[in-house]
């Protein structure tokens, strides 16, 4: 009997690890500012990254993978000694469908288990010395996660055609959504810097200043 119980436990655990499909939508997302980005990206904006972890629940939009996405940017350069801080924070509400979760277990992963989330992601540029906020940008993002064996074809195929979908074995990280959030922040900042060259000058000057 214990052997069969262990098999059931392993099988259910395997379901949770392999059948995650996630799609999301950014509110008021700007299109990429490629031409404007090329104009101002010769001298990158340096900053010290502070990622404020959201507890106690894990968050698809707040993980160490953020640093990797920022490091790929043409506009930014990470620097621990810079006097310009970039603080990244999230505030998330998760809503589980208890009935679908129960049906998921009863059908051994065939019936989809739905989880919805509403998050606000904030990028704050701040003077590291006097703590004065230079600019902050908040992006609402709505997501839905579906867990089921039936989602396997979808999370393999659909992300090829859409940047708003991903899936796989990791429930706590969404590299695709992090990349889109960084691109949205980049686009907003580029737009503001083109409209206000003094802002770009301030960010570059403060970013280039370093603590000894």
**What digits encode the pLDDT tens for the residues 91-146?**
988 766 677 777 777 777 777 778 888 889 999 999 999 999 999 999 998 888 77
Question: What value, to the nearest 5°, has the Cα angle with vertex 134 and ends 128 and 139?
Answer: 110
More confident residue, 145 or 156: 145
In tens, the pLDDT along 70-102 reads 999 989 999 999 999 999 999 988 766 677 777
Return the CA Rg of the chain: 20
- Measured distance CA(100)–CA(198) in Å, rounded: 53
pLDDT of 205 above 90: yes
CB atoms within 10 A of CB 105: 12
Mean pLDDT for all residues in the chain = 80
All structural domains of the chain = 20-208 (3.40.50)
Residues with Cβ within 8 Å of 87's Cβ and at least 6 positions away in sequence, in order, are 50, 51, 52, 122, 123, 124, 126
């Amino acid at each position: 009997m214990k052997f069969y119980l262990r098999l059931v436990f392993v099988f259910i655990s395997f379901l949770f690890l392999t059948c995650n499909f996630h799609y999301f939508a950014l509110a008021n997302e700007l299109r990429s500012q490629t031409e404007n980005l090329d104009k101002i990206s010769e001298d990158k904006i340096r900053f010290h990254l502070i990622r404020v972890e959201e507890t106690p629940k894990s968050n698809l939009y707040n993980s160490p993978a953020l640093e990797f996405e920022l490091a790929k940017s043409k506009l930014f350069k990470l620097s621990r000694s810079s006097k310009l801080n970039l603080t990244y924070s999230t505030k998330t509400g998760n809503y589980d469908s208890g009935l679908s979760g129960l049906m998921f277990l009863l059908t051994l992963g065939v019936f989809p288990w739905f989880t919805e989330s509403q998050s606000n992601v904030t990028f704050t540029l701040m003077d590291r010395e006097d703590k004065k906020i230079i600019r902050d940008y908040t992006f609402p993002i709505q997501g839905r996660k579906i867990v089921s064996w039936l989602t396997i074809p979808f999370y393999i195929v659909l992300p090829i055609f859409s940047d708003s979908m991903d899936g796989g074995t990791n429930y706590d990280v969404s590299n695709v959504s992090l990349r889109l959030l960084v691109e949205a922040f980049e686009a907003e900042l580029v737009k503001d810097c083109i409209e206000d060259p003094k802002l770009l000058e301030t960010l570059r000057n403060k970013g280039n200043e370093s603590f000894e």
